[in-house]
Amino acid sequence: MKYLIVGLGNIGSEYENTRHNIGFKIVDALAKASTIFFEPNKLGDTATLKYKGRIFILLKPSTFMNLSGKAVNYYLQQEKIKQENLLIITDDIALPFGTLRLKGKGSDGGHNGLKNIIQILGNDNFSRLRFGVGSDFVKGKQINHVLGEFAPEEQNQLGERLEKTTELIKSFATIGLGRTMSEFNNK
């Protein structure tokens, strides 16, 4: 079985360590733990991971966050992956730092990357993993928050949270959405 695991983020060194790029950081952590490497490809960097009889196509779109749908749709078609085997990983300011929330479908929640994916695919029937980046910002300054870097205390906890997130991704593909949600959500 094939899975498309998409970490959302923005390309460029100025975005590399921002909260908005947590999707990139998560798929990077999964690749690093599995000693595989990303390669530049059409519409993004990709890596292929084999795990317990499954094939994960890891994708970091190069289309910028707000146009992620084009890359997602391309790789679903190119790799012949069913939408039920798609997992989008994104930041979420509505969740406290490091909180994980896996859902099988839903709205964009105000996230422009998800909004574009829903628009391009024509539906919201895909799994998404939201990683909490907190809401410690003054009203109207959320852009500065998500495009800012993690605070030192968050950076100290980031390694453990990335490890937990990679476990969640593997669980999603092996034991399924429902059981993974029960085991990992809000933990």
Question: One of 19, 20, 101, 145 is an active-site residue; which one?
Answer: 20
Average pLDDT of 81-110? Answer: 94
- Given a cut of 80, whether residue 175 has pLDDT beyond it is yes
Residue 8 pLDDT level (bands cut at 50, 70, 90):
very high
**Using CA atoms, how far apart are residues 136 and 12, in angstroms rounded to an integer?**
25
Confidence (pLDDT) at 187 = 66
Domain positions in the chain: 2-184
Confidence (pLDDT) at 38 = 97
Average pLDDT of 161-176? Answer: 96
Confidence (pLDDT) at 51 = 96
- Neighbouring-strand partners of residue 3: 56
Residue 2 pLDDT level (bands cut at 50, 70, 90):
very high
CATH for 2-184 (3.40.50.10490, 1.10.10.10, 2.102.10.10, 3.40.50.1470): 3.40.50.1470
β-pair type (127-132, 54-61): unpaired
Residue 131 pLDDT level (bands cut at 50, 70, 90):
very high
SS3 of the chain: helix, strand, coil, percent, to 5: 40, 25, 35
Residue 157, SS3?
Answer: helix
Query: Is 20 annotated in the active site?
Result: yes
Residue 146 pLDDT level (bands cut at 50, 70, 90):
confident
Confidence (pLDDT) at 139 = 78
Residue 105 pLDDT level (bands cut at 50, 70, 90):
very high
Dihedral class, residue 75 (left if φ above 0, else alpha if ψ from -120 to 50, else beta):
alpha
Residue 132 or residue 142, greater confidence = 132
Confidence (pLDDT) at 90 = 96
Average pLDDT of 30-38? Answer: 95
Confidence (pLDDT) at 19 = 92
- Given a cut of 70, whether residue 165 has pLDDT beyond it is yes
Average pLDDT of 35-41? Answer: 96
- Given a cut of 70, whether residue 161 has pLDDT beyond it is yes
